[in-house]
Structure 1
């Protein structure tokens, strides 16, 4: 009986193997995919492997997300008008890879890799360049960092990522920050000694950029605003709506911040304040001043849940202790700004929420430094004097955002900007006569 069972099993296995061999050698007419079944199976497996996002191991989760934010920028500098297709630098198109693994009940670890993708660079385009220079059509590393998080002790980050004050002047409960609010001003007319050229009232196009009159370094137009650097950062647990952060990195660059988010009597509230100190005088792309700098920035936002009425505001100030030495005399070493946005955000149509708003921006700057770290030369402004005693940017705007069922946001934004510049040679002073510049931005953001 025992021997008969082994014979039967062998016979059954033989039939099974013969059947598989026959199937692989015979065309499958019921589902003919242009090849034998084994080749088709291998092709299907290869296709799945090519289209599947794999984990590094079974313990680490991976989330892929991001968005594309492209727009048409129409501009008018008083004598010339044109339109460019640009990547909206207020929230640059990006792809994000976020990994997370649980170590124990209260501890997790993870990483963040985020790449910025741009076509024409909005904050670098000007009357002569619709693409935005050598950094157009490129990919940049926004974040590359790991973290370790304890449920009751907070989170530590190491790598290139946001410093403690990144976003501290951009608190806004409405859906407008990705195209209009604090950092959108410099990202529209130019930052870091770049962007559109100033045009004199007599129609002459100068060689001086709008971006020469904003806070320098990596914080767009807003003194007090943070950015992304190679840092060690600590974020505290949230207690009663408050979260504290501190970071250090680069060349003696540190910042601290305190944020709040909560609800009270039908109102949503959010805000934050931060302080930054930096001694980096060598990296022209990151330096905030020619000497040691200290900055404070803050912002707040309030939204009435029932009506959708909201208001958001921000303020910041930077002191550059090296400007007196650069100029060889006492000069104005301070740059400050403030901005206000107010409007309504509610679901007027079934497709999604509509946001309608108006805003104002003002930035006051004393003496500045040029792209080479030296004294800013403004002789081309036509006053007969080649240095800046002080300047003021004033801008106002209106805009609209329409969400489409959570799939896409369409936005429209108009900005009108003036610049007043007082030039000097250290003794005499004269005001430059400059044309205003206007911008109309129409675009969309789609998330994935």
Structure 2
């Protein structure tokens, strides 16, 4: 194990070097309050997965925050602002898209990699109106987190190795993938219309209706509602929370309703944080998640963050099954380069009511994210 961790730490250093900035996205403005700004990020990672019998070592793109590029156009109209956002992933091989039998393509872009084609109209009095490919109201609702270790550890525990299958005690690959057994039940991105109210005493209400416009022959329809509340200055604490409900209908599939949310608190003086997340799908699947984090300025380069977390889920694949995962993560910021390096370890275990038993699996992920 120590050899694997040392190798992954070396990979994180290499990834940081590969991600070192050569350029940065400028902003252009006009005389009427308009602007154009482009941005992006690269997030290469080294993944070492052990299914209990074999090791698999791959270079991947970290699914927790994939490599991407995009731009914003903004134009002010009095006290209101019209915005347009385009963003796409590069389509690099993803950490949750490889498995024991396939490494996938190094680069494979199609239109499902488009993240945002989004028009937004921000009004000073009536809130924000959005239309286009973009976040549903419940997107990110389970992601409240002050730990600073989201690149290596979050309630989306399948991001690190979701494509791999559990191996049975007899040594055969099962039909149960990590991504099926560990879901965060978070909202996603669709072609949608969305409305967000103005903030009132820290509260924001959002609702949306959308369909999957990026896939062929798809009639999925979703609608949702979410409430968020945050307070950055609560007697020495910072607080963030949200809860939402979504409904999905699609021909040939059972209708489903998800209820999910999260809560996070940071003690500013010590850098200690706690975040909790949970979700339930009415037709099958519940989970709960907890993370303890610590963040401090230990070196001059930038802040250092550590965390330990635990996920417990049930009924995600079949009735009566159980899925557990725990992980540890460290993230080091290098402010001068806009780089975050990370090293994370995660363990997965699964059991169901069948006669089969499954070996535990684990993954080490090391890499660096450079934002420009």
Same fold (TM over 0.5): yes
- Which of these residues, 337, 343, 347, is aligned with residue 412 of structure 1? 343
Post-superposition offset of 1:230: 0.7
State the structure with bigger RCO (CA 8 A, min sep 6), 1 or 2: 2
SS across alignment from 1:237: coil
Change (3 A) 1:52 1:74: closer
Post-superposition offset of 1:56: 10
Partner of 1:148: 121
Partner of 1:200: 168
Post-superposition offset of 1:178: 3.1
1:351 equivalent to 2:301? Answer: yes
Partner of 1:285: none
SS across alignment from 1:239: coil
Partner of 1:266: 236
Partner of 1:137: 108
> 2-side partners of 1:271 and 1:208: how far apart?
32
Post-superposition offset of 1:148: 1.2
Instruction: State whether residues 81 and 122 of structure 2, in contact with CA within 8 Å, keep that contact through their aligned partners in structure 1.
Output: yes
Question: Within 5 Å, which residues of 2 pair with 1:4-43?
Answer: none
Partner of 1:396: 326
Partner of 1:124: 97
Partner of 1:316: 279
1:342 equivalent to 2:272? Answer: no
Partner of 2:180: 212
Of Structure 1 and Structure 2, which has the larger fraction of its residues in strand? Answer: 2
* Alignment gaps of 5+ in structure 1: 1-50, 215-220, 283-289, 321-333, 369-387, 424-429
Instruction: State whether residues 73 and 86 of structure 1, in contact with CA within 8 Å, keep that contact through their aligned partners in structure 2.
Output: yes
SS across alignment from 1:64: strand
> 1-side partners of 2:151 and 2:72: how far apart?
21
- Which of these residues, 302, 319, 335, is aligned with residue 265 of structure 2? 302
> 1-side partners of 2:29 and 2:304: how far apart?
39
Root-mean-square deviation over aligned CA pairs: 2.1
> 2-side partners of 1:170 and 1:281: how far apart?
30
Change (3 A) 1:312 1:52: closer
Which has the larger Rg?
1
> 2-side partners of 1:281 and 1:52: how far apart?
45
Post-superposition offset of 1:97: 0.7
SS across alignment from 1:89: coil
> 2-side partners of 1:181 and 1:73: how far apart?
17
Instruction: State whether residues 49 and 161 of structure 2, in contact with CA within 8 Å, keep that contact through their aligned partners in structure 1.
Output: no
Instruction: State whether residues 147 and 306 of structure 2, in contact with CA within 8 Å, keep that contact through their aligned partners in structure 1.
Output: no
Post-superposition offset of 1:136: 4.7
Post-superposition offset of 1:207: 4.6
Change (3 A) 1:279 1:207: closer
Instruction: State whether residues 121 and 136 of structure 1, in contact with CA within 8 Å, keep that contact through their aligned partners in structure 2.
Output: no
Partner of 2:17: none
Partner of 1:157: 130
Partner of 1:421: 352
Post-superposition offset of 1:236: 1.1
User: What TM-score, normalized to structure 1?
Assistant: 0.71
Post-superposition offset of 1:143: 0.4
> 2-side partners of 1:389 and 1:277: how far apart?
21
Instruction: State whether residues 67 and 92 of structure 2, in contact with CA within 8 Å, keep that contact through their aligned partners in structure 1.
Output: no
> 1-side partners of 2:210 and 2:323: how far apart?
32
Partner of 1:115: 88
Post-superposition offset of 1:113: 0.5
> 2-side partners of 1:63 and 1:138: how far apart?
23
1:243 equivalent to 2:204? Answer: yes
Instruction: State whether residues 92 and 108 of structure 2, in contact with CA within 8 Å, keep that contact through their aligned partners in structure 1.
Output: yes
After the TM superposition, which parts of structure 1 deviate over 4 Å for at least 4 consecutive aligned residues? Answer: 51-59
Instruction: State whether residues 70 and 444 of structure 1, in contact with CA within 8 Å, keep that contact through their aligned partners in structure 2.
Output: yes
Of Structure 1 and Structure 2, which has the larger fraction of its residues in helix? Answer: 1
Instruction: State whether residues 88 and 115 of structure 2, in contact with CA within 8 Å, keep that contact through their aligned partners in structure 1.
Output: yes
CA deviations on 1:335-371 (whole Å, 9 max, x unpaired) are: 01111110210101111111011000112115x5xxx
User: What TM-score, normalized to structure 2?
Assistant: 0.85
CA deviations on 1:48-86 (whole Å, 9 max, x unpaired) are: xxx998789966311111211110001111110121110
Instruction: State whether residues 318 and 335 of structure 1, in contact with CA within 8 Å, keep that contact through their aligned partners in structure 2.
Output: yes
Post-superposition offset of 1:208: 4.2
Partner of 1:67: 41
> 1-side partners of 2:314 and 2:326: how far apart?
15
Post-superposition offset of 1:243: 1.1
- Count, aligned residues: 336
> 2-side partners of 1:54 and 1:352: how far apart?
29
* Alignment gaps of 5+ in structure 2: 1-24, 212-219
